[in-house]
Amino acid sequence: MDKRNLGTLISTLRADRTDLGGIQDDVEVTVVDVDEFVVNRTALDNAVEAREAEIARLREDLAELDLDDLTDEQIGAAVAVRVEADGTLTVFVD
């Protein structure tokens, strides 16, 4: 099942901070542009606004990981990250 949808993004945004400890620099990263599936921009904007400080810390954490699969632009646009069951990362960018 594809978990790259608005519901997953909103629940990821509302969850406690994603623990990126132990993530290796060679982890497989999937970058998902939220514009691909956002149909309720207001819901996303409200969720992002409510978590601005957490998103800023998330971006700092991602930058510190120095992942080969993420550009500086993608890190600066990241709004949420999921560590998937298989250990890969899904990074939602806006």
Give the per-residue pLDDT at 41: 83
The one-digit pLDDT tens for each residue of the chain (94 residues) are 456 677 888 888 888 777 888 888 889 999 999 888 767 788 888 989 999 999 999 999 999 998 989 999 999 999 999 988 888 999 999 9
Residue 28's nearest CA partner among 70, 78, 73, 75 is 70
Say what the pLDDT of residue 22 is: 82
Take residue 67 and report the two structure tokens written for it: 């992942």
User: Which pLDDT does position 24 carry in this prediction?
Assistant: 84
Q: What are the domain boundaries of the chain?
A: 6-93
Contact call for residues 44 and 36 (beta carbons, < 8 A) = no
Residue 49 exposed, middle or buried by CB count within 10 Å (0-12, 13-18, 19+): exposed
pLDDT the model gives residue 7: 80
* pLDDT recorded at residue 30: 92
Distance CA 32, CA 9 (A): 10
